[in-house]
Homo-oligomer: A and B are copies of this chain.
Amino acid sequence: MKTGNVEIGRRFERFQAACRKAGVKLTHQRLEIFREIAGSSEHPDAETVYRGVRARVPTVSLDTVYRTLWLLDGLGLITTLGPRRESVRFDPNLAHHHHFLCVQCGRAMDFESPDLNALSIPASVKKFGSVLATHVEVRGVCAACAKETVAGRTNVTGRPRRKPSKL
């Protein structure tokens, strides 16, 4: 899975511009960590990124990778898969349904929609494997969090609090 050079270049520009705008420093480590992730269409975890970066910057620390990854996430330069920095959650609702996920507190709400149940998946997906289920994931900020977010701080720092806001 390779990503075109043109696209990678674009991602770098976006990165540098975002750093400037957000007033965060453009360090060697950040550059290399970004390079590591921007160049792949894999969905690496922190450990994997760490291993890759260490090949070029032997002194980086795993926690810098974590901080940078969350920084990039905060800057909107990358996203995460699934629930955000929360552990696995279980869902007893076996009816076909969909989720609204709050990106602040991690809360998940169910909703139903016959239209969405009837989604047709592009044929190209079949080449990945056999399909068991399909659902729509909507991300946003839930009403409760929107209210709390007084001054719109976005915590771009890459230093998350351990429990963002346990439900």
Contact = CB atoms under 8 A, between A and B. Distances in A.
A interface majority secondary structure: mixed
10 contacts: A11-B92, A37-B90, A76-B94, A80-B88, A81-B83, A82-B82, A84-B88, A125-B138, A128-B140, A133-B140
Contact of A81 (B99, B120, B121, B133): B99
Given A83-B81, A115-B122, A88 B45 contact: yes
Contacts of A46: 87-88, 90
A6 interface: no
- Indicate how many identical chains form the complex: 2
B129 A140 contact: yes
B108 A129 contact: no
Interface string A74-109: 001111111111111111111000011111000011
Interface in A140-167: 140-146
A115 B89 CA distance: 29
Interface of A: 3, 11, 37-41, 43-47, 49, 69, 72-73, 76-94, 99-103, 108-111, 113, 115-116, 119-122, 124-125, 127-146
Contact of A132 (B78, B103, B136): B103
A119 B116 contact: yes
A15 to B, nearest CB: 10
A43 B79 CA distance: 22
A38 B92 contact: yes
Contacts of A101: 81
A139 B131 contact: yes
A82 B91 contact: no
